[in-house]
Amino acid sequence: MNRLLTPSVKQHFIFLIFVSFVFSNPVIASNSETPPQSAIASAHPLATQAGIKILQQGGNAFDAAITVASVLAVVEPYSSGFGGGGFWLIHDAKQQRNVFIDGRETAPQKAHPKLYQNNQNEVIRSLSINGPLAAGIPGQAAALAHLAKHYGNLPLSTTLSDAIHYAEQGFPVDKVYRKLAAYRLKAMQEERTTNAIFLVDGKIPELDHLIKQPALAQTLKRLAKAGHTGFYQGETAQYLVKNMTDHGGIWTLEDLANYQVIERAPIEFDYQGYHFISAPPPSAGGIALAQMFGMLQHHTMPQHQSVEQIQLLAEVMRRAYRDRAEYLGDPAFTDIPSKLTSSSYLQQLSNSITPNKATPSSELKPVLPPNQGTDTTHYSILDDQGNRVSATLSINLPFGSAYTDPDTGLLLNNEMDDFSSQPGVPNSYGLVATEANAVEAGKRPLSSMTPTFIESPDSLAILGTPGGSRIITMVFLGALEHLNQAPVENWVSRPRFHHQYLPDVIQHEPETFSSAEKKQLERHGYKLKPVGRTYGNMQAILWNLKEKKVTAASDPRRIGNSLTLNH
């Protein structure tokens, strides 16, 4: 049976979405076994170590998830933070239940479709990128409070303690910090509080310089003491609304007081003996993965990289991203067609793929081109009871909107740029979108964040990555490595390429293709666009049930760290 439930309901209704389509018999990892080790893989060593310490103190995976997320929020201000949001895919071992916790930002009530346009209906890009007007109502604090209240064993005062410590005492600047600060330096220099905290005399700090955030530490203490209301009401909320209003923002106290996380049913599907559990809308990730694997079901794919394999993968990517552009958005505002994951529709898409020939995007059913930003973070956790978490968090572009609230220390997101400021006008990630992802009060912007579990009788995989519009294809390629029985280190280090329908090019990392492959792909009609750098930061865990062994790996492209803990 194929069904996608998409009622048009408003913001705070708990919307459950479930996709079930079967390419083979459903296969799920054994429920009776528990892992021989716990494991954490995150984007920063301090966060991984703090999470392991929580597990040693008797916390479960959900407690560790709070700690890891909060420490990342402090030591990765360029990627995540309490001024942003994210998605938490969790498995509750006691209840044998998978839940998707949506802590995505929402548009303020004063937002409207022409918020970022001038009187001539022209998009003013800077308004959705820099400063308070670019920020959606953040969801990370609400999500962590929700995890603590409903799933954790420990109080927030314990699980937030390391984050508070690093905010008060400081964390050392590393090479990733310097690189991403350079990307957003001008915007950071123009915001007084951001300049004072995250730069030194208006310049990028030297390696090992300590970044201290005392105002943020006080905000975290209020959250630790009062939970959800300690952030969304009272002193923190009052500071945020006053300061943002003074600087051109449109938040209200009601926007903050009304924010709630939403628990959703994940996207679930089966492919060749593996059961996938992934992100539902407002993420495009789960549906896009379901479509890409659904199309592959109708083709014989070479096991090892070849021009034939590259072409097939690029074509299924192209078609999934075309549908992303037209159909996907916040399910409380957008009716998402059930056909997108139906066998007949995926067969139809598969039939349109011609071997050894590129299908120009212009030849597919036309759609106005969607948008998305590049910095985000991810972590994966498995505990000794079999609880697990795959979480992807973001403030959108590096250092978000570059606006730091002086009284709360919150560096705010610029996730409003993930909406379509105007149909057909690309966002910061070159994605295009239709009215399905237009700016609207209370709406959650479409995302590519794709936290994922993959189950089989022999294994359990936990994976995800940051990377803007390329997140889905990175998870897709990492999953294919797992399906080919490659070790977890291969998933995170695999050379990457990406097609997102528009622009009609295959983007790729350096050294992904050989000279011969490049020439042959170009002869087949593909345009190749080197990204000029590596991208992504995958964090992954593999529980091999057959060998009774847990392994974890962090992407070698950055400074992430993975640790296992023996019981």
Catalytic site residues?
A: 376
Q: What share of the chain is helix, strand, coil (3-state, %, to 5)?
A: 35, 20, 45
CA distance 280 to 367: 22
Convert 184-219 to b/e letters by CB count within 10 Å (16 or more is b): bbebbeebebbbebbbeeeebbeeeeebebebbbbb
Crossing angle of helices 161-169/61-75, nearest 10°?
10
Provide the 3-class DSSP secondary structure of residue 36.
Answer: coil
Q: What six digits make up the tokens of 394?
A: 């973001």
Q: Following DSSP, what letter does each residue of 484-550 receive, concatenated?
A: TT--HHHHHH---EE--SSS-SEEE-TTSS-HHHHHHHHHTT--EEE-SS-----EEEEEETTTTEE
Token pair 């593999």 is found at: 542
CB count, 10 Å around CB of 290? Answer: 27
The amino acid sitting at 179 is: K
Closest CA to 504 of 476, 541, 529: 529
CA distance 409 to 419: 26
CB count, 10 Å around CB of 353? Answer: 18
Distances (CA, A) of 403 to 39, 131, 205, 293, 389: 35, 5, 18, 40, 30
Q: What six digits make up the tokens of 283?
A: 């993420």
Longest dimension (CA), the chain: 64
Closest CA to 390 of 459, 466, 488, 504: 466
Q: What six digits make up the tokens of 552?
A: 């974890």
